[in-house]
Amino acid sequence: MERNASSRALLSKIKDLTASLVKEISEGKSPSVCIHKFRNYCTDPNSNCLCSSDLPKGQQVLTLTRQCHAYRIDVLLRVLVIVQKLLQENRHGSKRDIYYMHPSVFSEQSVVDRAINDICILLQCSRHNLNVVSVGNGLVMGWLQFLEAGRKFDCISCPTTAYTIPVHVEEVKDIVSVAKYILIVEKESVFQRLANDKFCNANRCIVITGRGYPDIPTRRFLRLLVEKLCLPVYCLVDCDPYGFDILTTYRFGSMQMAYDAKILRVPEVQWLGAFPSDFEKYNLPQQCLLPLTAEDKRRTETMLLRCYLQKEVPEWRLELELMLQKGVKFEIEAFSVHTLSFLSEQYIPSKIPKVEVLPGNNFKS
């Protein structure tokens, strides 16, 4: 019912938007589209910026007088027609489906992605409200049960079995869990290692992976679990710039989706590892270290400037600086150099605080 109500409201907003464009044209004016700009960080750590607020940071006015703007409006309107049809027919489509409806006009996927983001900003809604969904990439296992559109996900009956994270997160309900914490792992290979080691049998937890950069359903599902279950969340990533960027995507959201950060970020995420300082602490041999490439160094230097690091997690920033200073990186799998199950039997348990919920302090890592 709720979805229909929101679809109706969006359809009427689409009608208003196109009506105002038609009015401008019929009055002989050049039509314009005003799109608010959002960002979740800037590159001035010491400024008095408002990046962490969810307010727009300026706006962009698209007009037909500039050719690149005219193209952007053309794409926007074409995607808007497709979205309108999805909403009218109460059907769902993927970003990829939309691309293939006019591949010669859109030329590449990112053009469609930007149009979808523009539409969300214009209509002040989230992507799933447009009935545009992504293919689910995330996996979950552990001490958890829930329903999605009437279908039961009973992970508890076999906590070492991987389930695909549902795409329609708004349909997830009746979440039941006896877990003590949620563990996010960056990579599927690490998730499988934990499944093989029956990590969730020995540890009352829920394990999630977004298999690299997490998609929207994975991040919304994680956020739903944190909101409903009030559990601490730990994140385990490779000790390299990509791992760190994935960690920040879970906690702060991504720049492209900054307009929707309020429903996508999970500020409770704590960084469990692997820290650059873990290399010596856990006696990893030199052969496990890889030198940072020129591209890695450039990425790291750029990330160090992000204002949210300085403002919210200065201790993360110090570890990132250390990575750059040492000029080396390593993968989580490097811990297998000791024994195959070192990760699940020694490393992770040694990192999880004895008291998982520290009152008033559960945002600190």
- Which residues in this chain contact Zn ion in the complex, by CB under 5 A? 42, 49, 51, 307
Considering the complex, state which of residue 143 and residue 308 has its C-beta at the smaller distance from Zn ion: 308
Q: Could you say which of 100, 181, 234, 308 is catalytic?
A: 100
Grouping H, G, I as helix, E, B as strand and the rest as coil, residue 203 is coil
CB of 67 to Zn ion, least distance (A): 32
Considering the complex, state which of residue 42 and residue 322 has its C-beta at the smaller distance from Zn ion: 42
The Cα–Cα gap between 136 and 49 comes to: 35
CB 34 within 8 A of CB 55: no
Measured between alpha carbons, how far is residue 50 from residues 53, 71, 252, 305, 307 in Å? 5, 31, 14, 15, 10
CB of 309 to Zn ion, least distance (A): 10
CB of 312 to Zn ion, least distance (A): 11
Considering the complex, state which of residue 57 and residue 102 has its C-beta at the smaller distance from Zn ion: 57
* Residues paired with residue 96 on neighbouring β-strands, in sequence order: none
100 is catalytic: yes
CB of 310 to Zn ion, least distance (A): 9
Burial of 76 (0-12, 13-18, 19+ CB in 10 A): buried
CB 317 within 8 A of CB 309: yes
Segment holding 358, helix H or strand E? none
Considering the complex, state which of residue 3 and residue 57 has its C-beta at the smaller distance from Zn ion: 57
Measured between alpha carbons, how far is residue 130 from residues 80, 82, 149 in Å? 9, 10, 18
Catalytic annotation, residues: 100
